[in-house]
Amino acid sequence: MVVTFFHDMFHEESSYMIKTDVVIIGGGATGCGIARDLALRGVHHYLVEKGDFANGATGACHGLLHSGARYAVTDPEAARECIGENAILRRIARKCVETTGGLFVRLPGDSKRYRDTFLSNCEEAGISTEVLSATRALDLVPELNPSIEEAVVVPDCSIDPFRLCMLNAFTSRHKGGGILTHHKVIDIVRERGRCTGVKVLDRFTSQIKEIRAKIIINATGAWGDTLARMGGSDAPMTLSKGSLIISNHRLTNMVINRLRPPSDGDIIVPNEAVCLAGTTSIPVDDPDAIEVDPREVDLVATQAEQMLPRFGTTRLIRAYTGVRPLLKAEASDSRSISRGFKIIDHKNGMFSILGGKLSTYRLMAEKTVDAVVEEFGIKARCKTADIPLDGQDELSGYPLSKRLKGIDNIVCECELVDRAQVENAINSLGIQYIGDIQHRTRLGMGPCQGGFCTYRALGIMQETGRLTPDESIEILKHFLQRRFRGIRPALWGDQLREEQLVESIYLGILNMGQRA
Amino acid sequence: MSAYGYDAVVIGGGVSGIMASLTLASRGFKTALVSRGDPVCCLSTGCIDVFSHSDEPLGGIRALLPDHPYSLVGEKGIVDSLSFFLEIMGEAGLPYEGDPGRNRKILTPIGSTKNTCLVPRTMAHADMPPGEYLHVISFQGIKDFFPSYITSRHRNSTYSVYDAGVPTTLGIAARFDDASFLDAFITWLRGLEIPLDRVALPAVLGTIDPDSVMEKISRAIGRKVFEIPTLPPSVPGLRLFRALKRVMQNRGIHLYWGKGVTSVECQGRTVEAVTLATTGRAKRVQGRAFVLATGSFVSGGLFAGRDSVRETVFDLPVAAPGERKDWFNTDFFSGAHGIERAGVRVDRDFRPVGAKIDNLFACGSILAECEIMSLQCGHGLAVATGVAAAKSCAQELS
Ligand SMILES: Cc1cc2nc3c(=O)[nH]c(=O)nc-3n(C[C@H](O)[C@H](O)[C@H](O)COP(=O)(O)OP(=O)(O)OC[C@H]3O[C@@H](n4cnc5c(N)ncnc54)[C@H](O)[C@@H]3O)c2cc1C
Ligand SMILES: Cc1cc2nc3c(=O)[nH]c(=O)nc-3n(C[C@H](O)[C@H](O)[C@H](O)COP(=O)(O)OP(=O)(O)OC[C@H]3O[C@@H](n4cnc5c(N)ncnc54)[C@H](O)[C@@H]3O)c2cc1C
């Protein structure tokens, strides 16, 4: 790696240049998977991500490691890819995957003919199934609607997208790759029509850096077209917004799907102590201007309630939305657009990887890197399917017993995160952003959604000198505003009550309201 | 079932319910107060915000719309009720000061100032002229209090940290009740040789007699001393509640604490009794008139379902803004969310509008249109409407 410092004559501040072989733009599952693949094949690279890992669709997704059953009827190719990757990820990413198994439940009125096609297509795709009577299904998941007709067991799993990104990036970092989070690509450097580097903005210092590379990989999901255009080409896609809600209880230990043609609100995925229910599918134009509509929340909650009746009365802690980057197609219903993926060689030094799913991120990375090494004339085989992700041994999971150890100095009461963990995250990882601490410690992920502990974590951060007091208050304001966006669409019942309390604290006791 | 009979039964033990019951008792009515749990004033700064949104509370109130509960009370009623509150706090041994004509400032844990109207004596010196020197004392391990927030905003300020042996505000406050702890603290403080002018601490100066603790410290170091209210759990909020409860007991008000009303009995347009959930037999409390003071969402007087707001004891009609999407606007910091106006609408006599009940009155944060968050008027509104509803209730009884 060559790092040259130089003074840019056109800018006031000094800036610096980095040289490498490949620059990956995007720190979602796809970008991180590509970084690991390149690292294992010995290709030097840098990954740039404008937020923290999983800042885009990866962090806003359902966390379902598909068995492929959901696509068995509508998209057999995607189904086959899914079951293949499902088996691989269970093997290589044990600490990210919870092998919950999944149920497709058929409610009264759901077509029996669809069920028959479903079973035969699953068999054809190589997805194992077992049909259960309602009684046996209720033994497995007691909270199920007792009036279901039957259920089919499939090998669906729950997956932690953030961890998946972190562990993929871990290998890259370990092998000398550069990972720059909170760095936004603001321009692509071109020389004689060829992309030769990227200009990135360090969002913390506001410094602009330049990274020169032979190849640029655009793995920015929904932002793919924007980046391709910066490079002088384009990458047409269809963007589809999907919204999800989180309950504050784990109402099922298995993934629950509705046995009917894919539609709104027909999947519930358990994750740690909560459940995620979703989703909707609404075409959008701008991935940066999306919001959850309260009506989406009602729709998803109503559908989820049909499968797990307790979803109707349980407390919802948040709603959120993400944008699916789908391949452009003629069809107007975004659900019937292929979930397959495509690699575009823009023939200008840039490759874009488009479409796909979280479940197939590794395969997408493999195919992309195959294309890139061919360009370099290197004959290195992909090893990502054979070697388990590095860094998993150090991960303890989040067992309660461990979390209870520092009980006398708890910072986050909901998730039992103590001061030492927060300080450790700040000191060892050099974390500047509150979101980063939250992702790594689970601080603020519980029912209060950081309403109480974020103030505390920021106070600790400014005490360690990482932030000035003023900066930390600014970050707090920003956090509260963002948090409010997430919980606003699902504010009723106990969650509304708690929100009033949080508001009284910040606007009342701390007088942070606009009129302050 | 056992039955108990009173002239007036107040439901809800927050500041509004307490002020209502004290008003009724002071007029000689046999009064009971029923409360499911401790009120939200325990979480508060302990200060009485009357209208903190502007510098002159009464001026701000004059500009409110006629359907705001303050407008129903009227200026004289508000001023009288606040005097009554000051009188009560004097009797309780936790004197407050302040003037409804002008707000004063207190200091917040993030170093900003906040308007409020009546304050406990331990916060009287918080309203300091610019340029004065401030020394902040913090405590080892204390949660939610970071003195550098304050010193970074005050040009002339420094801080020191004392190890009280416990990290919680309630724990430290309990230590300050002990004279030998206080002496050791004062010895330490003297050793710091703090320059003039003022010393501020998080609000932990004892649970019983904070004024004496403050006086003792102030005399020992020759500096003005004041408290900074902390996030919940709040010691000054708890002191306020305990003081009010003491006066209710002294004045012979019958308290049913820790038991919520689960059902009501009506005869025509009259409420005759309420039933309390108790672990043993259900208790029936009879009254000739009732005051509803069960608070807003936080205390459960109001409950928001997925698409409508309910009043939880009598199922009274609730004025609420449109659909759920209209309950909150997108800006967290505006405070002026539609849901702030939800609640029970009352007439000039504080009778719920459209209730078809003649001997029921309502007061406090359960009322419609009060906008407590954006106007910053929580306790002031509770005091004023509590006293006003009780006066109407007294008229009904005599
Ligand atoms: C609601 C929803 C639910 C889903 N559920 C599932 C599921 O259960 N299972 C499943 O397999 N798939 C699911 N998907 C699909 C899956 O989430 C996505 O296909 C996958 O995560 C895409 O990953 P990615 O890395 O390609 O894109 P992203 O995760 O979107 O990553 C792109 C990254 O690029 C970054 N970026 C953008 N512009 C710049 C720039 N200028 N500079 C630097 N960085 C930039 C972004 O910050 C972002 O982090 C779901 C999708 C949605 C929307
Ligand atoms: C965190 C926080 C900080 C605040 N800080 C301040 C401040 O610094 N200054 C200020 O002026 N205002 C402040 N406020 C606002 C102020 O505290 C409230 O507006 C005011 O105290 C409300 O009083 P209340 O009597 O209407 O109701 P509450 O205090 O809510 O009391 C209602 C009572 O009714 C009881 N109850 C409910 N249902 C039943 C039932 N079915 N049966 C029997 N009892 C029942 C409850 O248990 C509760 O005790 C703050 C509010 C909060 C939440």
DSSP output for B164-220: -S--SHHHHHHHHTSHHHHHHHHHHHHHT-PPSSEEEEES-S-SS-HHHHHHHHHHH
Q: Are residues A128 and A243 in the same domain?
A: yes
pLDDT value at A409 more than 80:
no
pLDDT value at A14 more than 60:
no
Q: Are residues A464 and A491 in the same domain?
A: yes
CA-CA distance, A489 to A512, in Å (whole number)?
A: 23
Q: Are residues A251 and A113 in the same domain?
A: yes
pLDDT value at A516 more than 50:
no
**For A410-445, how does the pLDDT look when each residue is reduced to its tens digit (9 = 90+)?**
888 877 788 888 888 888 777 777 888 888 888 888
Please indicate, yes or no, if residue A487 is contained in any of the structural domains. yes
Q: What is the mean pLDDT of chain A?
A: 89
CA-CA distance, A271 to A170, in Å (whole number)?
A: 23
What are the structure tokens assigned to A400, written together?
């309660």
User: Which of A462, A503, A511 lies at the smallest CB-CB distance from B148?
Assistant: A462
What are the structure tokens assigned to A344, written together?
């575009």
pLDDT value at A334 more than 60:
no
Q: Are residues A75 and A148 in the same domain?
A: yes
- Compute, in angstroms, the gap from residue A314 CA to the centroid of ligand 1: 28
**Residues in B touching A452 (Cβ below 8 Å):** 231
Q: State the helix-helix crossing angle for A434-441 and A453-463, rounded to 10 degrees.
A: 110
Q: What is the pLDDT of residue B194?
A: 86
Q: Are residues A175 and A320 in the same domain?
A: no
The residue ranges of every structural domain in chain B are 5-96+238-397, 109-228
Q: How many CB atoms lie within 10 A of CB B90?
A: 12
Q: Percent of chain B beyond pLDDT 90?
A: 88
Average pLDDT over residues A340-359: 94
pLDDT value at A405 more than 60:
no
Q: What CATH number labels B5-96+238-397?
A: 3.50.50.60
**Residues in A touching B323 (Cβ below 8 Å):** 294
Test the A interface: residue of B110, B157, B371 with most A CBs within 10 Å: B110
Q: What is the pLDDT of residue A434?
A: 81
A153 pairs with which residues across the strands? A103, A130
Is residue A360 a contact partner of residue A81, using CB atoms and an 8 Å limit?
yes
| C-beta B44 within 6 A of ligand 2 | yes
DSSP string over B105-132: EEE-TTS-EEEESBEEGGGGGGS--TT-
What are the structure tokens assigned to A457, written together?
């974590």
Average pLDDT over residues B123-147: 93
Q: Are residues A149 and A263 in the same domain?
A: yes
Residue that is written with structure tokens 């509304």 in the block? A496
**For B367-377, how does the pLDDT look when each residue is reduced to its tens digit (9 = 90+)?**
999 999 999 99
CA-CA distance, A161 to A97, in Å (whole number)?
A: 9
Beginning with the edge strand found earlier in the chain, give each strand of the sheet holding B198-202 in spatial order.
B157-162, B134-139, B198-202, B224-228
| C-beta B111 within 6 A of ligand 2 | no
What are the structure tokens assigned to A442, written together?
């689970």
CA distances from A504 to A220, A323, B377 (A): 39, 33, 12
- Closest among A75, A74, A122 to A102, alpha carbons compared: A122
Is residue A112 a contact partner of residue A118, using CB atoms and an 8 Å limit?
no
What are the structure tokens assigned to B337, written together?
């969310």
Q: Is B143 on the interface with A (CB under 8 A)?
A: yes
pLDDT value at B32 more than 90:
yes
Q: Are residues A453 and A346 in the same domain?
A: no
Q: Do A513 and B148 touch (CB under 8 A)?
A: no
Q: Do A510 and B109 touch (CB under 8 A)?
A: yes
Ligand nearest to the CA of B291: 2
- Closest among A332, A328, A331, A300 to A316, alpha carbons compared: A300
| C-beta A70 within 6 A of ligand 1 | no
Listed in sequence order, the residues at least 6 apart from B66 whose beta carbon sits closer than 8 Å to its beta carbon are none
CA distances from A198 to A7, A18, A212, A288, A375 (A): 17, 10, 7, 21, 19
Is residue B352 a contact partner of residue B363, using CB atoms and an 8 Å limit?
no
Q: Are residues A208 and A265 in the same domain?
A: no
Test the A interface: residue of B107, B136, B333, B374 with most A CBs within 10 Å: B333
Residue ranges of the alpha helices (H) in chain B? 15-26, 57-62, 69-73, 75-92, 147-153, 169-176, 179-191, 210-221, 235-250, 372-375, 378-397
SS3 content of chain B, % helix, strand, coil (to 5): 35, 25, 40
What are the structure tokens assigned to A101, written together?
């198994």
**Residues in B touching A513 (Cβ below 8 Å):** 333-335, 373-374, 376
Please indicate, yes or no, if residue A232 is contained in any of the structural domains. yes
Q: Which SS3 state, helix, strand or coil, does residue A318 take? A: strand
- Compute, in angstroms, the gap from residue B39 CA to the centroid of ligand 2: 5
CA-CA distance, A47 to A365, in Å (whole number)?
A: 13
Average pLDDT over residues B192-213: 94
CA distance A386 to chain B (A): 48
Q: What is the pLDDT of residue A426?
A: 82
Mutate to test the pocket of ligand 1, among A37, A61, A162, A344 (most ligand atoms within 8 A of CB): A61
CA distance A298 to chain B (A): 8
Burial of B343 (0-12, 13-18, 19+ CB in 10 A): buried
- Closest among B293, B264, B210 to B19, alpha carbons compared: B293
Residue that is written with structure tokens 């944060």 in the block? B365
Q: What is the pLDDT of residue A514?
A: 65
Q: What is the pLDDT of residue A471?
A: 87
- Closest among A449, A418, A432 to B141, alpha carbons compared: A418
Listed in sequence order, the residues at least 6 apart from B63 whose beta carbon sits closer than 8 Å to its beta carbon are none
**Residues in A touching B294 (Cβ below 8 Å):** none
Average pLDDT over residues A362-368: 97
Please indicate, yes or no, if residue A389 is contained in any of the structural domains. no
**Residues in B touching A504 (Cβ below 8 Å):** 40, 43-44, 298, 373
Please indicate, yes or no, if residue A493 is contained in any of the structural domains. yes
Q: Do B327 and A491 touch (CB under 8 A)?
A: yes
| C-beta A421 within 6 A of ligand 1 | no
Interface ipTM above 0.85:
yes
| C-beta B206 within 6 A of ligand 2 | no
Is residue A32 a contact partner of residue A177, using CB atoms and an 8 Å limit?
no
Q: Are residues A52 and A200 in the same domain?
A: yes
Query: C-alpha A226: how far from its chain's center?
Result: 20
Q: What is the pLDDT of residue B359?
A: 97
| C-beta A265 within 6 A of ligand 1 | no
Q: What is the pLDDT of residue A2?
A: 33
Q: Are residues A268 and A362 in the same domain?
A: no
| Minimum-distance ligand 2 atom for the alpha carbon of B313 | 41
SS (H, E, C) A447-487: CCCCCCHHHHHHHHHHHCCCCCHHHHHHHHHHHHHHHHHHH
Please indicate, yes or no, if residue A386 is contained in any of the structural domains. no
pLDDT value at A134 more than 80:
yes
| C-beta A218 within 6 A of ligand 1 | no
| Confidence class for position A9, pLDDT limits 50, 70, 90 | very low
| Confidence class for position B2, pLDDT limits 50, 70, 90 | low
Query: C-alpha A259: how far from its chain's center?
Result: 25
CA-CA distance, B38 to B257, in Å (whole number)?
A: 8
Average pLDDT over residues A230-242: 94
pLDDT value at A1 more than 70:
no
| Confidence class for position A15, pLDDT limits 50, 70, 90 | low
Q: How many CB atoms lie within 10 A of CB B230?
A: 22
Please indicate, yes or no, if residue A28 is contained in any of the structural domains. yes
Q: Do B330 and A488 touch (CB under 8 A)?
A: yes
CA distance A484 to chain B (A): 6
Q: Are residues A315 and A246 in the same domain?
A: yes
User: Which of B232, B307, B373 lies at the smallest CB-CB distance from A503?
Assistant: B373
Q: What is the mean pLDDT of chain B?
A: 95
Residue A230's domain is classified under what CATH number? Answer: 3.50.50.60
pLDDT value at B78 more than 90:
yes
| C-beta B389 within 6 A of ligand 2 | no
Pairing state of beta strands B360-362 and B134-139? unpaired
| Confidence class for position A398, pLDDT limits 50, 70, 90 | very low
| Confidence class for position A382, pLDDT limits 50, 70, 90 | very high
**For A275-317, how does the pLDDT look when each residue is reduced to its tens digit (9 = 90+)?**
999 999 999 999 999 999 989 999 999 999 999 999 988 889 8
Q: Which SS3 state, helix, strand or coil, does residue A497 take? A: helix
Q: Percent of chain A beyond pLDDT 70?
A: 91
Average pLDDT over residues B253-274: 95
**For A184-198, how does the pLDDT look when each residue is reduced to its tens digit (9 = 90+)?**
999 999 999 999 999
**For A34-93, how does the pLDDT look when each residue is reduced to its tens digit (9 = 90+)?**
999 999 999 999 999 999 999 999 999 999 999 999 999 999 999 999 999 999 999 999
CA distance A477 to chain B (A): 9
What is this structure's pTM?
A: 0.86
Q: Are residues A447 and A427 in the same domain?
A: yes
First-to-last C-alpha distance (Å) of chain B:
29
CA dihedral over A183, A184, A187, A190, signed as positive or negative: positive
Q: Is B153 on the interface with A (CB under 8 A)?
A: yes
Is residue A352 a contact partner of residue A343, using CB atoms and an 8 Å limit?
yes
pLDDT value at B69 more than 90:
yes
Listed in sequence order, the residues at least 6 apart from A446 whose beta carbon sits closer than 8 Å to its beta carbon are A248, A273, A317, A412, A413, A414, A415
Query: C-alpha A111: how far from its chain's center?
Result: 33
State which fold the B109-228 domain adopts. Answer: Rossmann fold (3.40.50)
Q: What is the pLDDT of residue A339?
A: 61
Q: What is the pLDDT of residue A465?
A: 84
What are the structure tokens assigned to B60, written together?
């701000």
pLDDT value at A401 more than 70:
no
Test the B interface: residue of A492, A495, A512 with most B CBs within 10 Å: A492
Please indicate, yes or no, if residue A130 is contained in any of the structural domains. yes
**For A467-482, how does the pLDDT look when each residue is reduced to its tens digit (9 = 90+)?**
889 888 988 998 899 8
Ligand nearest to the CA of B123: 2
Q: Do A496 and B378 touch (CB under 8 A)?
A: no
Listed in sequence order, the residues at least 6 apart from B74 whose beta carbon sits closer than 8 Å to its beta carbon are none
| C-beta B40 within 6 A of ligand 2 | yes
Please indicate, yes or no, if residue A356 is contained in any of the structural domains. yes
CA-CA distance, A257 to A263, in Å (whole number)?
A: 10
Q: What is the pLDDT of residue A337?
A: 52
What are the structure tokens assigned to B281, written together?
């037999």
Is residue A492 a contact partner of residue B324, using CB atoms and an 8 Å limit?
yes
User: Which of A469, A488, A493 lies at the smallest CB-CB distance from B305?
Assistant: A493
**For A19-31, how does the pLDDT look when each residue is reduced to its tens digit (9 = 90+)?**
999 999 999 999 9
- Compute, in angstroms, the gap from residue A323 CA to the centroid of ligand 1: 7
Domain range for residue A439? Answer: 398-509
pLDDT value at A6 more than 50:
no
CA-CA distance, B295 to B282, in Å (whole number)?
A: 23
The tally of domains found in chain A comes to 3
